[in-house]
Amino acid sequence: MTATETAAAGSVDDLTPTLQVEHLEVTHRVRGQDRRALRDVSFQIGRRESYGLVGESGSGKSTVALALTRYLPRNGRVSGGRISINGQDPLAMDAAALRELRARTVSMVYQEPGKALNPSIRVGRQVAEVYEVAGFDGSAAQDKAEAMLRTVQISDPGRVMGLYPHQISGGMAQRVVIAMALAAEPSLLILDEPTTALDATVEAEVLDLVAALREDFGASVLFISHNLAVIAKMCDRVGVLYAGELLEEGPAEQVFQEPRHPYTVGLLRCIPRRGQRKDAGRLDTIPGFLPPPGHTLPGCVFAPRCPIAEERCREARPPAFPVGPARSSRCYFHDAASDLPTNAPPDIQLPATRDAAEPVVTLQHLSKTFTHGGESVRALVGVNLSLERGETLGLVGESGSGKTTLARALLGLIAPDEGSVVDLDGSALAAQARRRPREQLKALQIVFQNPDSALNRRHTVRRLISRPLSRLAGLSGARLQERLMDLVRSVRLEERHLSLRPSQLSGGLKQRVAIARAFGGGPRIVVCDEPTSALDVSVQAAILNLLADLQAKEQVTYMFISHDLGVVRYLSDRIAVLYLGKIMELGPAETVFAGPHHPYTEALLSAVPSIDGQRAERIRLQGEIPSAADPPSGCVFHTRCPRRLPTGVCETSDPPLAEVAPGHLMSCHIPIDQLTILQRTEQDGD
Amino acid sequence: MTDVVAAPAAEVTVARGRGALPAWRLLLRRPTFIVGAAILLFWVVCAVFGHLVAPQDPLAQSLLATNKGPSAAHWFGTDQLGRDVFSRVLVGARSILVIAFFATLLGTVAGTALGLAMGYLGGVIDIVGGRLVEAVLALPLVIVAFLFIVAVGPSTLTVIIVIGLVFTPLIARTVRSAVLVERQQDYLASARLLGENRSYIMFIEVLPNVLPVVLVEFTVRLGYAIFAIASLSFLGFGVQPPTPDWGADISVNYGVLPAGYWWMTLFPALAIASLVVAINLVTDSIEQVIAS
Amino acid sequence: MATYILKRLGLALITLWLLSVIVFLATQVVPGDPGRAILGNLAAPSAVRALDHQLGVDRPLIEQYWTWITGLLHGDFGTSTQFRAPVEPYVQAALVNSLKLAALAFVIVVPLGIVGGVVAALNYGRPADRIISVAGLSATTVPEFVSGIVLIVIFGVALKVLPVSASAGAGASPASQFQHLILPAIPLVLVLFGYIARMARAGTIEALNSDYARTATLKGLKRSVVIRRHVLRNSLLPTITVIATQLGYLIGGLVVVEVLFNYQGIGQLIFKAATAKDFPMLAAGVLTIGVVYMVATLIADILATMLNPRLRLGGAE
């Protein structure tokens, strides 16, 4: 059942809202100074309604959740406003009443489910504890706990009850946490980034579960996330938080289709949509940066970054203007919001790619097996892949797919198994980076996911960027300085950043430094390993634009790894889909997305929520991703494949990666024409 | 190609997490640090200027004034040889501080080098080093130390070397752990991709990041060193008479304690206590500041 | 699990062997020879040589080591040069005495330290925490003989309430023995308290701030239940391992305390043996300490493994 149908069915039950927040203000005391985390936040959630709170980092969305259950950190307090849950005020309660509230009325589900469970107590006992608090005795609580585990679709709940948290997977742990949350039959269920730590297909399962259970249990839901697509899928209404203030609010579909606040407009434009490509229809960005925490700007909090801001906006904070039934926007110019001038860079000309001559990188029979105490884990199995000059190859896969291992093997950070061939321009690359000559090191560089880890926090930016210039490009003196400044400009940094250390820069700036460093030696191939996954959406857009610009300017080939299909589609010319160390599908980006696809690709695509609107029937994959230590026989995907052939060939024989159309390869026993028919009949055209 | 993209990153450089105050300012705000540092400073001054500050010659014996209790002439009384206890206490700071400082320095430098090698290079060095650490840990410091000293003969240099050697594997272990954490970081992979050699990586990339750990280890070990040196002196394995030394003085004079002659042992004891407490207050403050 | 224990046992034996080598070599480095030391400077060289031959000190080192080691394993600890008698009974008696003192100190300090650490953690940042932390820290760093002296002065000399000597005399009643052991035990308690309390405090704070404590609290459980059922279990785990390492300090402290209070324990035994250059006694004493220490560490390791489900049961399915 979709979000909108639920809203229509359920919201007339009872007129008292489950949750009412009025002018909420939360302050933290840091180093002797007060910092306001939330300011004048007001919203309400009706019975059986699902409300999404969306925001980037620093927006304060988690603080809202903590304030509601009075679990703010020691240095935090509610400094203003009122909260009402089912008509009661949690801020005025004594300890006993608060416990009662937490036990029966409000439940929370957090990110990182593994950590939310006590590692020293068995799973069953922890779930049963909820029932004990509700008044059931020992064995009755155990029985109910087992029943609840079955409700959250854990098969064989009896066995799971006896396990310890470290013995279950992330997806299962999150189901257990959801079971604990719903066992209390709460009126309000709060979910704070519940699926951020999970793989795409597992995430889809969990979200579906939450939607179904919400129906059955009749709870109101507060869903907090930075992922707009997930919110669009799960919520009836949505509130957009920015720097501690609620800027826009309203029914989810309306807010996302016709946003009425410049921030929301900007945010939505940052997300790559179908039809946008890195060279045509480029991403918009939001210029400027978040105000520092604890700021006390007088006017609209978004004014410094708003393209249509005027004096009025900077002087007086806009009130929440009603812009429709149950809709509001904190902007004087909310009518003009949708015509917000765009910040998108103009289309660019990419290098004429792929003279069908030599591929620049060739990988053949690339395998990597990790042995750890008797157990061997197959991270990569016989991968054959080539990179064409000037293209962007997107690598897609969930955990255990081997995509990171592949990149590291290519770079020489991990030594592949015997018999693997890794060639650059036709000549073999030594297995270890240490043994590679400077020319080869120069040609292959990487941008890592986490800039905190990728930049030496004790070195200055100048040193970080200069090092490859001297080591790889062999520059020194004036020429080095010249090239340094050139690079700094290319990544939109400023000279004053050079004397700073990474800890003094924001995530986006740090990643620019990392990119400058990668390009310093003049590489021909740059591997981007989830370069924007750790960044906010608005920052991500700027970095993606930068990567495209650099590709045009420096004529490089990219290997782009990401779990975010939207981003991969935006940037890539070709896409390779990996599962458990094998390539399932490889082909031009649009073809892989449009279909016919490999069943795994199909499932993956249907699992990822898209802000453009729902796909048709979601493909549900059974079970969890198998462990790479004990991979399935035959086709590695057969254990979860919904299109598994009844002849049994999928279990016994591993399909080769074969060309099913020019430039399009697939590893599947089902003939391509059959796949085309099967997939077309199930889709509403795509 | 012209830059029509968004204006250059006009970003407010965010002082992330850490306050704008540099470390030493934060330290000065803590009462524990101030008290500890003050006491420590006092003893360091005594160590350096001892003979100038002491009212009387700590070595001057007087057969007429033996075993006299505290009085106006002798604030801390006299010992069995008639020497002024107060002067001996003031001057006694030197031997213990000098030995402790150099021993700890030796152990820290050697331990850091070993820890870096064990953590970053791994392999044989790590295995052998690991066994060495365990072997040293198999016996308490004091026992290892006095075994060694028994073999070689007590002297200032011996004590410095012994304690330095025993500290080396202990410090190496801590540094190794810190290095292992750094190994997980991607900046080391980046360095390898630049073709940096191992020495460069260990000393220019890794070492600056483990320095805070090394600093804390130094101050912590300094406290242990004083503890151990005092104990060794008490057992007779430290500085030899007639040099004023707190532990040695206690060792010589505690026999007459049950008979009621308390001042010649109590005051040196309190001096030791004050010094170790001071160092540990300072160490604790440093740890707290680094943690925040 | 079983393989783990065997591995640990194996490592322990290797370390023990290394220790024996170190001890043996230490005794060999000393200048002068035992024959001369026993007979004195005026004895004739031939007599010295004869005695040396009889003692076996003119044989190759490896042979001497082998003789010594095999002797040890058969229970023959050699002959003391101080007392001209077998070493074994001295070591045994001394060991028993030291164990009594150590046990007393342990029995007092472990509960005290754990309670202190947990209380400090529960009152994080408040006066109770600062006092316990600073007091614990200070107490830990003061050498045992220093606190011993202060205690003797206060309780033994000034107030005269407790006996100053640790030995109650042969055949004394347990109560009397206990009374004599109190003063020597206190310095040991003071030193160990800081370490144990600090570990318990750190472990409890980490558990209190964990996600699972948050889950438990938000289930609506009472704070006392959260602490008792969820927090303590996880916070005490690292504390137990720390207690094992404390044995090292305890033994070092024993030497000093026994010397100061003139107690016939193994610490004083090796001290006297060292100063008298009685190497058989010294070697035997040191090795005994090494064995005791290793056994205790092994037990603590195994205990820690058994109590931690992650180590006991292995990884995810």
A315 part of a folded domain = no
pLDDT-derived band at A613, boundaries 50, 70, 90: low
| pLDDT(A3) > 60 | no
Distance (Å, rounded) from C-alpha A595 to C-alpha A612?
Answer: 18
Residue range(s) defining the domain that contains residue A105: 3-255
Helix (H) / strand (E) containing A442: helix A438-443
Strand partners, A220: A188
pLDDT of residue B18: 41
Residue A241: name the closest of A298, A188, A189, A301 by CA: A301
Neighbour subunits, A (≥3 Cβ pairs < 8 A):
B, C
pLDDT at A9: 39
CB contact under 8 Å between B186 and A454, yes or no, is: yes
Find the CB nearest B205 among A456, A472, A521.
A456
Confidence of residue B21 (pLDDT cuts 50, 70, 90): low
Are A500 and A448 part of one and the same domain? yes
Half-sphere exposure of A79 (CA within 13 A, CB side): 15
Chain C residues in contact with A169 by the CB 8 A cut-off are 316-317
Per-residue confidence band for A355, with pLDDT thresholds at 50, 70 and 90: low
CATH code, A450: 3.40.50.300
Is residue A275 included in any domain, yes or no? no
Q: Which domains does chain B have, with CATH numbers?
A: 26-53+75-291 (1.10.3720.10)
CA distance C84 to chain B (A): 21
Residue A31: count other Cβ atoms within 10 Å of its Cβ: 12
State the chains in contact with B (3 or more Cβ–Cβ pairs under 8 Å): A, C
State how far the Cα of A174 lies from the Cα of A170, in Å rounded to an integer: 6
Q: Which is it for the CA torsion A579, A228, C218, C128, positive or negative?
A: positive
Amino acid identity for residue A20 in this structure? Q
The reply to whether A536 and A434 lie within a common domain is yes
Judgement on whether residues A539 and A462 belong to the same structural domain of the protein: yes
Closest partner residue to C146 among B150, B235, B272, by Cβ?
A: B272
> What's the whole-model pTM score?
0.84
Residues A615 and A673 in one domain: yes
Question: Is residue A580 in some structural domain?
Answer: no
Longest distance between any two alpha carbons in chain C, whole Å: 88
Query: Which pairing describes strands A361-372 and A327-329: parallel, antiparallel, or unpaired?
Result: unpaired
Residues of B in contact with C159 (CB under 8 A): none
A78-87, A489-498, B69-78: lowest mean pLDDT where? Answer: B69-78
- pLDDT of A11 > 90? The answer is no
Task: Say if B276 is an interface residue toward chain C (CB within 8 Å).
Answer: yes
Contacts of A449 (CB under 8 A, 6+ apart): A529, A530, A531, A533, A534
Q: What is the pLDDT of residues A500-517, one digit of tens each?
A: 999 889 888 999 999 999
Q: A599 and A548 share a domain? A: no
CA distance A482 to chain B (A): 18
Nearest-Cα residue of chain C relative to residue B274: C142
Q: Which residue out of B186, B201, B210 would a mutagenesis test of the A interface target, given it has the greatest number of A Cβ atoms within 10 Å?
A: B186
List the beta strands (DSSP E) in A7-101: 19-30, 33-45, 50-55, 76-85
In a domain, A197, yes or no: yes
Nearest CA in chain C to B270: C146
CB of A106 within 8 A of CB of A64? no
Q: Does residue A327 lie within any of the structural domains?
A: no
Chain A closest-CA separation from residue C217 CA (Å): 8
Q: Does the pLDDT at position B6 exceed 70?
A: no
Question: In the structure encoding, which two tokens stand for residue A533, read together?
Answer: 């996954």
Give the rounded percent of residues in chain C with a pLDDT score beyond 90: 15
* Distance from C-alpha of A260 to C-alpha of A250, rounded to nearest angstrom: 10
CA-to-CA distance for C77 and A650, rounded, in angstroms? Answer: 72
Last residue of a domain, one of A255, A281, A306: A255
In whole angstroms, give the CA distance from residue A448 to residue B185: 10
CB contact under 8 A, B16 and A504: yes
Same domain, A452 and A508: yes
Q: Would an 8 Å CB–CB cutoff place A100 in contact with chain C?
A: yes
B194 pLDDT tier (thresholds 50, 70, 90): very high
Query: In this complex, how many residue pairs, one in chain A and one in chain B, have their CB atoms less than 8 Å apart?
Result: 109
Tens digit of each residue's pLDDT (9 = 90 or more) over A555-568: 899 999 998 888 99
Instruction: Give the model's pLDDT for residue A42.
Output: 93
Q: Of the candidates C212, C217, C314, which has its C-beta nearest A115's C-beta?
A: C212
Asked if the ipTM is above 0.85, the reply is no
B78: which DSSP letter? B
Contact C290 B146 (CB under 8 A): no
CB spacing of C153 vs B266 below 8 angstroms: yes
Q: Flag if C317 and A116 touch (Cβ within 8 Å).
A: no
Among A516, A535, A560, the domain-final residue is A560
- Choice between C53 and A655, residue whose per-residue pLDDT is larger: A655
Does one domain contain both A517 and A599? no
**Confidence at residue A616, expressed as pLDDT on a 0 to 100 scale:** 54
What is the model's pLDDT at position A442? Answer: 92
Whether residue A96 sits in one domain with residue A177: yes
| A331 C-beta neighbours (distance < 10 Å), count | 29
Given an 8 Å threshold on Cβ–Cβ distance, is B193 in contact with A456?
no
Chain B's closest residue to A455, CA to CA, is B187
CA distance C231 to chain A (A): 9
Q: How confident is the model at residue A10 (pLDDT cuts 50, 70, 90)?
A: very low
Task: Say yes or no to pLDDT of A25 above 90.
Answer: yes
Q: Do B260 and C252 touch (CB under 8 A)?
A: no
Element (H, E) at A361: strand A361-372
pLDDT digit string (tens) for A71-100? 998 889 999 999 999 888 998 899 899 999
Q: Is A60 left (phi over 0), alpha (psi -120 to 50) or beta?
A: left
Model confidence over C266-303: pLDDT tens digits? 989 988 887 777 778 888 888 888 888 878 878 877 77
Mean pLDDT of chain A: 87
Q: Please tell me whether residues A372 and A481 are part of one structural domain.
A: yes
Alpha-carbon gap: A57 to the closest alpha carbon of chain B (Å): 13
The partner residue sitting opposite C145, judged by closest CB among B135, B231, B284, is B231
Residue B44, pLDDT score:
92
Tally the domains of chain A.
3
Contacts of C147 in chain B (CB under 8 A): 273
Q: Is B200 on the interface with A (CB under 8 A)?
A: no
Mode of pairing for the β-strands spanning A327-329 and A245-251: antiparallel
Task: Answer yes or no: do A132 and A42 share one domain.
Answer: yes
Contact A167 C230 (CB under 8 A): no
Tokens matching residue B239: 């500085």
Q: Which residue in the set C219, C230, C309 is minimally distant from A102, CB to CB?
A: C219
Nearest to B262 among C142, C157, C260 (CB): C157
Q: Is A519 domain-assigned? A: yes
All residues of chain B having their beta carbon less than 8 Å from the beta carbon of residue C30 are 150-151
Q: What is the pLDDT of residue B8?
A: 35
B232 confidence band (pLDDT: 50, 70, 90): confident
Same domain for A520 and A416: yes
DSSP C145-203: HHHHHHHIIIIIIIS--S-SSS---TT--HHHHHHHHHHHHHHHHHHHHHHHHHHHHHH
A448/B185 CB distance under 8 A? no
Helix (H) or strand (E) holding A149: helix A138-151
Helix (H, G, I), strand (E, B) or coil at A293: coil
Q: Which residues 98-127 of chain B have a CB within 8 Å of chain C?
A: none
Residues of A in contact with C316 (CB under 8 A): 166-169
Asked if the Cβ–Cβ distance from B186 to A457 is below 8 Å, we say no
Q: Which two tokens stand for residue B164?
A: 């330095």
How far does A167 lie from chain C, in Å, by closest CA? 4
Which residues share a beta bridge with A455?
none
- Please tell me the distance in Å from B6's CA to the nearest CA on chain A: 6
- pLDDT interval class at A353 (50, 70, 90): low
Asked which of A480-484, A518-522, C241-245 is least confident by mean pLDDT, the reply is C241-245
Residue-wise pLDDT for A247-296, tens only, equals 999 999 999 999 999 999 999 988 888 778 887 778 888 888 788 777 77
Residues of A in contact with C216 (CB under 8 A): 118, 129
State the pLDDT at residue A6. Answer: 41
Contacting partners of chain C (3+ CB pairs under 8 A): A, B
pLDDT digits (tens, 9 = 90+) for A231-251: 998 999 999 999 999 999 999
Buried b (16+ CB within 10 A) or exposed e, C207-219: bbebbbbbbbbbb
Which residue in A101, A119, A168 is closest to C316 by CB distance? A168
Say yes or no to pLDDT of C24 above 90.
Answer: no
- Cα(A139)–Cα(A145) distance, integer angstroms: 10
A264-273, A470-479, B10-19, B259-268, range with the lowest pLDDT: B10-19
Check B269 against C150: CB less than 8 A apart: yes
Among A516, A544, A560, give the residue marking a domain's end.
A560
CA distance C86 to chain B (A): 22
Residue C249 with chain B: CB contacts under 8 Å: 140
Where helices occur in C60-161 by DSSP H, the ranges are 61-73, 88-122, 127-141, 144-151
In whole angstroms, give the CA distance from residue C61 to residue A548: 74
**Residues in C lying within 8 Å of A, measured between beta carbons:** 125, 210-212, 214-222, 229-230, 233-234, 237, 308-310, 313-317
Residue A228: inside a domain: yes
Residue A354 has pLDDT above 50, yes or no: yes
Q: What is the pLDDT of residue B274?
A: 92
The region of weakest confidence among A389-403, B89-103, C249-263 is C249-263
Predicted pLDDT at B40: 93
Pair A621, A642: CB distance under 8 Å: yes
pLDDT for residue A676: 86
Evaluate if residue A200 carries a pLDDT over 70. Answer: yes
pLDDT at residue B14 is higher than 50: no
Based on the fold, state whether residues A450 and A505 are members of the same structural domain: yes
Which residue in chain B is spatially nearest to A539 when comparing CA positions? B9
Residue C90 has pLDDT above 50, yes or no: yes
Percentage of chain A surpassing pLDDT 90?
42
Which contiguous run of DSSP H or E holds residue A363?
A: strand A361-372
What's the whole-number average pLDDT of chain C? 81
**A537, part of any domain:** yes
Q: Does A141 touch chain C (CB under 8 A)?
A: no
Is B34 within 8 Å of chain C by CB?
no
Instruction: Report pLDDT digits (tens) over C183-231.
Output: 889 999 998 898 889 889 988 999 999 999 999 999 989 999 999 889 9
Can you tell me the distance from the alpha carbon of A237 to that of A231, in angstroms, rounded to the nearest whole number? Answer: 9
